A and B are shown apart, each in its own frame.
Chain A
Amino acid sequence: DTAVSQTPKYLVTQMGNDKSIKCEQNLGHDTMYWYKQDSKKFLKIMFSYNNKELIINETVPNRFSPKSPDKAHLNLHINSLELGDSAVYFCASSQGHRANTEAFFGQGTRLTVV
């Protein structure tokens, strides 16, 4: 069983489109995250939700809207896609959001905007 699963794994789309990436975790965790990895492999947090409530929003354009229908899901919707949105997006989860808590990552979604 995959602990943190993202769909789709690959996504190729045109500029201006709207797309969603789904994330589900079956670990019973209460905190979920989205991270973006750019072409130079640099990883940066985008959002964090705890018990469906937004707790971190790191200066991400408002074209990106996370949605957490329940604790096990954190989906990422992106409007009006731009070339610069091309990256690998990782979902993660943890039990609690204290600093010493291990985060479990999904396999990533490679988004390519053409």
Chain B
Amino acid sequence: AQSVTQLDSHVSVSEGTPVLLRCNYSSSYSPSLFWYVQHPNKGLQLLLKYTSAATLVKGINGFEAEFKKSETSFHLTKPSAHMSDAAEYFCVVSHNAGNMLTFGGGTRLMVKP
């Protein structure tokens, strides 16, 4: 069985300050991990994915995530928040059977001017 826990349901930062969205996972397999972003009333867009290559993964819009097997974590970071980053972020683990995605509960990122 696999599961994903996003440790913060809401994160608020000021524009220009760093962003950290935390994610822990459990998986019986060597996991494939993803971060997706959902802007208000929009679909889900892939930010980045980890598939057992480099542990530091770079994504779109300046986001990156580091896979730490010893900590079973896959935290999402960005050096400097922009107003357009305000959205809901989902950490996701993929099950090998059928690419069934298991989603975390989501973290709402708010960016203050």
Contact = CB atoms under 8 A, between A and B. Distances in A.
Interface residues of B, number: 27
Contacts of B49: 100, 102
A101 B103 CA distance: 15
B90 interface: yes
Counting contact residues on chain A (CB < 8 A from B), the size range is 20 to 34
Given A45-B100, A99-B99, A106 B105 contact: no
Contacts of B32: 99-100
Contacts of A55: 98
B26 interface: no
A50 interface: yes
B65 to A, nearest CB: 15
Q: Which of B31, B46, B100 is the most central at the interface, judged by chain A CB atoms within 10 Å of its CB?
A: B100
Contact of A102 (B46, B52, B88, B97): B46
Interface in A48-67: 48, 50, 55-56, 58
Given A56-B100, A97-B98, A98-B96, 5 more contacts: A40-B105, A43-B103, A99-B95, A100-B94, A102-B49
Interface of A: 4, 31, 33, 35, 40-45, 48, 50, 55-56, 58, 90, 92, 94, 96-108
